[in-house]
Amino acid sequence: MNVLATKDYIIFLLYFVIVASYGYWIYMKRKTREHDSKAFFLAEGSLTWWAIGASLIASNISAEQFIGMSGNGFFVGVAVAAYEWIAALALIIIAVWFMPVYLKNKIYTMPQFLKTRYNESVALIMAIIWLFVYVFVNLTSILFLGAVAITGLLPHDGTDYLHWIMIGLAVFSVIITLGGMKVIGYTDVIQVTVLIIGGFAAAYMALDKVSGGAGAVAGFSTLMKEAPDHFHMILAKPDANSSQEYINKYLILPGILMYAAGQWIVNLNYWGCNQYITQRALGADLQTARKGILFAGFLKLMMPLIVMLPGIAAFVLVKQGQLPPLEKMDDAYSSVLGFLPSGLKGLSIAALTAAIVASLAGKANSISTIFTLDIYKKFINPNAEEKKLVWMGRLVVLVSMVVAVAFTWKDLLGIGSAGGFTYIQKYTGFISPGVFAVFILGMFWKRTTGAAAVAGIITGLATCFFFNEMAPSVFGNETFLYTAYPNGIGGFEIPFLIAMGISFLFTIIVMVSMSLAGPKINAKAFVLDKEMFKLKPSIQIMIIVTLMILAALYIKFW
């Protein structure tokens, strides 16, 4: 099954040539602004709404979705689609309420937001934390999962493909990133087109295989018939009779409670308070930014079809005996792609590569932006010329990628054993409650102080770590705040999405209490007015359509 034909190599080479050529053409078009830092980091004013939306999705959909979410689909089922579908709702909130605040106050980076609203200390603390997470959680996991996934599609002839692929992905993404945000944004349009076509091709072939050649629709019916437990959005709370396997599923996706806790924090923080994502829209006008974000939300509704459904198909194929038992759930996507015919394998490798490279490039650009504009320019070389800022940005891209490859080389961080998607959600989740509390109170409560923001960041990180790692051994397994469950390796755990919600609650309490001791209106509070949040009819239509589709999906799979 893992044999590539000549046409597979041709298709992949064609993808590489098209992306590289288009990127070079875009770069040459903007060469007159080659040493303009805002053009390099933000593509200021030059991305259309459809380019913003496509770039958001291309940067978001990567190895952790194709590999990690398919793995969760294999293990748990459709419940993991909550990450995609709630994201569509979160993007509506970002477009309507967050973007007007950012754009009115001319915010270009997230640390700049924190400096403008609070003070330099808050901005610096968070800049350092973001850089650490982006390099050691995001870049590393994308590189590792991507290399593992592509390796699984290549011939098993004893060649060490993994490390060569890792280097190739890093080099390709660095080349794209060095062209700046405009090159990333417009090449992402090609990347997202390739990943959607390749993703749908893989999903179709998997469903066709499940049905014995009767087509995708019959295949989907077979999935629902042979794996009915995989088609419930809301998992019931485990009881004394629950198996360890079911408890492990609940630890990842804790039923209805995750919608009252971490699921909102994950999505609103990721899409609204994350340099890696918001950077695409911060250089545009409000109408363009809103349309682009809502377009991305619409695309998110279909993403489970290509990043989660193949995992459920792999579960049924194993059950049918058409696939051998998988060593780990993250092998699900690669195992399904093995059924693809010649040509489509090359397209699927191109789709995976597109997703991985787009995410790596976007993440590296954000690392470069935060370090160059919020640390280097402010604290190291305040008088740096535009040309020097751009070259420093390029150097940071290169260094960050080298560091990521070094830590990924032998999987020093244990990404493979944790399960890719869970690894990213859990460890980025350590900072999410504090960051989101600081942003949401900073935007919409004029009383929030800088001291409260620092306390909130520390409280969020400390409480999230405590409830994830220590609370059951200190307070026991059952309290009025949480229930801890056996994790199958000798300990007890609180579902990390629940721990995130509890951490957010304590963070808000600390920040509000401290801010109440300050002035009624903080001197740095943003000025808000109703006109900022008014929506044009075209925006209203996009929101209504998204909400109707989302409601239909939850009614169907509740």
For 454-509, the pLDDT digits (tens) are 999 999 999 999 998 899 999 999 999 999 999 888 889 999 889 999 999 999 99
Q: What pLDDT, on the 0 to 100 scale, is given for residue 447?
A: 95
Q: Worst-scoring range by mean pLDDT, 358-372, 412-426, 446-460, 521-535?
A: 412-426
Quick one: which H or E segment has residue 492?
Answer: strand 492-493
Q: What pLDDT, on the 0 to 100 scale, is given for residue 473?
A: 93
**Which amino acid would we find at residue 546?**
T
Strand partners, 478: 483
At residue 491, the 3 state secondary structure works out as coil
| CATH for 6-245+286-421+530-557 (1.10.287.3510, 3.40.190.10, 2.40.30.210, 1.20.1730.10) | 1.20.1730.10
Q: What pLDDT, on the 0 to 100 scale, is given for residue 32?
A: 47
DSSP 295-307: HHHHHHHHHHHHH
- Residues 398-423 as b or e (16 or more Cβ within 10 Å = b): eebbeebbebbeeeebebeebbbbbb
Confidence label for 184 from pLDDT (cuts 50, 70 and 90): low
338, 310 in Cβ contact below 8 A? no
Q: What pLDDT, on the 0 to 100 scale, is given for residue 56?
A: 82
Tokens 């190599």 — which residue?
9
Residue with the larger pLDDT of the pair 463 and 411: 463
Residue 417: closest CA among 335, 471, 489: 489
Whether residue 513 is predicted with pLDDT greater than 80 in this model: the reply is yes
Reported residue count of the chain is: 558
Residue with the larger pLDDT of the pair 30 and 104: 104
For 237-275, the pLDDT digits (tens) are 998 888 998 998 898 888 888 888 888 898 898 888 887
At residue 478, the 3 state secondary structure works out as strand
Whether residue 97 is predicted with pLDDT greater than 90 in this model: the reply is yes
At residue 483, the 3 state secondary structure works out as strand
Torsion, Cα 383 385 391 393, to 10 degrees, reads 60
Residue 2: closest CA among 340, 310, 332, 355: 340
Residue with the larger pLDDT of the pair 542 and 15: 542
Confidence label for 116 from pLDDT (cuts 50, 70 and 90): very high
Q: What pLDDT, on the 0 to 100 scale, is given for residue 181?
A: 61
Instruction: Count Cα atoms within 13 angstroms, Cβ side, for 105.
Output: 22
Tokens 């340099």 — which residue?
275
Task: Spell out the long-range contacts of 385-389 with Cβ–Cβ below 8 A and sequence spacing 24 or more.
Answer: 385/35, 386/35, 386/36, 386/37, 387/35, 389/37, 389/40
Residue 384: closest CA among 395, 394, 372: 372
Model pTM score: 0.83
Residue with the larger pLDDT of the pair 39 and 537: 537
Per 3-state DSSP, what percentage of the chain is helix, strand, and coil (rounded to 5)? 75, 0, 25
Whether residue 163 is predicted with pLDDT greater than 70 in this model: the reply is yes
Mean pLDDT value of segment 427-447 = 90
Instruction: Say how many Å lie between the first and final Cα of the chain, rounded.
Output: 36
Q: In 10 A of CB 184, how many CB atoms?
A: 29
Query: Please, where are the H alpha helices in 211-255?
Result: 216-226, 244-252
| Averaged confidence pLDDT in the chain | 84
Per DSSP (E only), the strands in 140-298 are none
Whether residue 45 is predicted with pLDDT greater than 80 in this model: the reply is no
